[in-house]
């Protein structure tokens, strides 16, 4: 008999909304005092500067604004776990849009303040069930906000890498939600039960075809911390480097899942 289909993870809409607003607030507070020289620093995102990275963080939120400005699709046709696999297709358009926004908004603090204000107004106006046309397909607003935690956490990490002195904090709920969505995306990409991936304290998933373990210690175990997992899933670090830096442990014949990463290009 085939294994039962795993029930999709659910997210508390109120907690997700609070997490998005909290992480956006953390970024706003951190970038408020950046100097022109700091805004011109390079980032690990190609030739984007810190100024362009901040513009992109704002754009990740105004994607909600743009989606709500379009007619609602007739029905949901994807699940939130499919979103990570749809991001690469828009890379060229996103790059051009980011540069235009960065050039248009000379004051990053004022720009993010406007983004924050607009998001709060829209969330007060629209129910979480309102369907949006997104780059992955039609999703409810509440589910699309789950994807915004990934954008915010990933790019907060990019910002901290570019300007270490900022030390932008991570909202716990935003970090948890981003970790869980990317863990579930791994399980969707490589369904199975032979390998257990542990990302304490937020997520445990089973993946990879092969003998399914039912009790006791799994024969194949991968374990890492949330930020390292997010970096692996989004190509910010490599499997080899994470092992070398003792940020990752992997035991068992099927524990090397490096060929499945990154999940998001």
CATH number, domain containing residue 91:
1.20.120.450
Q: What is the pLDDT along the chain (265 residues), one digit of tens a residue?
A: 233 345 689 999 999 999 999 999 999 999 998 999 999 999 999 999 999 999 999 999 999 999 999 999 999 999 999 999 998 777 888 999 999 999 999 999 999 999 999 999 999 999 999 999 999 999 999 999 999 999 999 999 999 999 999 999 999 999 999 999 999 999 999 999 999 999 999 999 999 998 766 666 788 999 999 999 999 999 999 999 999 999 999 999 999 999 999 999 7
Q: Do 231 and 114 lie in a common domain?
A: no
Give which of 49, 53, 79 is closest to 154, Cα–Cα.
Answer: 53
β 248-251/221-224 pair status: antiparallel
Residues 253 and 194 in one domain: yes
Q: What pLDDT, on a 0 to 100 scale, did the predictor assign at position 177?
A: 98
Token representation of residue 111: 């720009």
Q: Do 65 and 89 fall into the same domain?
A: yes
- Whether omega for the bond prior to residue 262 falls within 30 degrees of 0, making it cis, is yes
pLDDT recorded at residue 90 = 77
Domain count, the chain: 2
153 with 196, same domain? no
Q: What angle do CA 4, 87, 103 make, to 5 degrees?
A: 155
Do 63 and 162 belong together in one domain? Answer: yes
- Let me know whether 106 and 171 are in one domain: yes
Question: In which domain, by residue range, is 42 found?
Answer: 13-176
What's the N-to-C CA distance of the chain in angstroms? 36
Q: What is the pTM of this model?
A: 0.95
Q: Would 6 be classed as within a structural domain?
A: no
Q: Is there a single domain that holds both residue 112 and residue 33?
A: yes
Based on the domain organization, do 119 and 201 belong to the same domain? no
Is 122 found in the same domain as 226? no
Q: Are 163 and 50 in contact (CB under 8 A)?
A: yes
Same domain, 155 and 57: yes
Please check whether residue 7 lies inside any domain of the structure.
Answer: no
Q: Are 55 and 110 in contact (CB under 8 A)?
A: no
Looking up residue 231, the CATH number of its domain turns out to be 3.30.1050.40
- Per-residue tokens: 64: 């909600």
Q: Is 205 helix (H, G, I), strand (E, B) or coil?
A: strand
pLDDT the model gives residue 198: 98
Shared domain for 161 and 59, answered yes or no, is yes
Q: Say whether both 80 and 40 belong to one domain.
A: yes
Cβ-contact 55, 102 below 8 angstroms = yes
Question: Which two tokens mark 254?
Answer: 């099927």
Residue 214 lies in a domain: yes
């Amino acid at each position: 008999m085939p294994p039962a289909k795993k029930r999709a993870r659910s997210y508390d809409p109120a907690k997700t909304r609070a997490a998005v607003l909290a992480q956006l607030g953390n970024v706003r507070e951190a970038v408020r005092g950046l100097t022109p020289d700091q805004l011109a620093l390079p980032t690990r995102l190609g030739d984007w500067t810190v100024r362009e990275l901040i513009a992109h963080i704002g754009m990740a939120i105004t994607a909600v604004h743009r989606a709500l400005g379009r007619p609602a699709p007739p029905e949901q046709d994807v699940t939130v776990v499919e979103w990570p696999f749809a991001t690469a297709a828009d890379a060229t358009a996103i790059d051009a849009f980011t540069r235009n926004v960065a050039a248009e908004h000379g004051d990053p603090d004022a720009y993010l303040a406007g983004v924050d204000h607009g998001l709060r107004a829209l969330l007060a106006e629209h129910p979480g069930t309102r369907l949006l046309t997104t780059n992955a397909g039609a999703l409810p607003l509440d589910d699309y906000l789950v994807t915004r935690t990934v954008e915010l956490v990933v790019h907060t990490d990019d910002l901290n890498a570019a300007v270490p002195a900022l030390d932008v904090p991570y909202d716990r709920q935003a970090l948890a939600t981003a970790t869980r969505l990317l863990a579930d995306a791994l399980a969707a990409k490589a369904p199975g039960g032979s390998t257990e991936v542990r990302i304490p304290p937020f997520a445990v998933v089973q993946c990879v075809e092969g003998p399914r373990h039912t009790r006791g210690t799994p024969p194949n175990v991968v374990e890492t911390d949330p930020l390292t997992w997010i970096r692996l899933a989004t190509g910010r670090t490599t499997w080899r480097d994470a092992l070398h830096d003792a940020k990752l442990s992997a035991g068992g014949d099927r524990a090397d899942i490096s060929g499945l990463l990154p999940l998001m290009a």
